[in-house]
Amino acid sequence: MSENAKQLAEYIRGHWGIENQLHWVLDVGFNEDDSRIRKDNAPENLAVIRHIALNLIKQHKSIKGSIKGKRKRAGWDNNYLRELLLT
């Protein structure tokens, strides 16, 4: 295999590794695969909202826990939700 082919293969594996990690996190943390929203622009709009929520949760380091746990806590605790949104 030529050097260019090896570099291309590494790039492709790296891209799909990142892509698969993101989708796994969205599915486990947000149950994205179970979503029944399929009409018009709603699936794309909610995907954007999920990505924003995921980024906010990942940036918040003051409380340890899983993404799913932090998401649930934000649903239960308005003070925690405010902290997530304002930091």
CA pair distance 29, 72, nearest whole angstrom: 9
Specify the pTM.
0.68
Q: Is the pLDDT of residue 19 over 70?
A: no
pLDDT class for 16, splitting at 50, 70, 90? low
Give the list of residues 6+ apart from residue 55 with CB closer than 8 angstroms, or none: none
Residue 14 or 44, more confident: 44
Owning domain of residue 48: 3-86
Split into its structural domains, the chain has a count of 1
Residue 68 or 77, more confident: 77
* Cα 41 to Cα 27, 38, 82, distances in angstroms: 20, 8, 28
| The pLDDT of residue 45 | 92
Give the tens place of pLDDT for each residue, 34-48: 788 888 988 889 889
CA pair distance 5, 73, nearest whole angstrom: 47
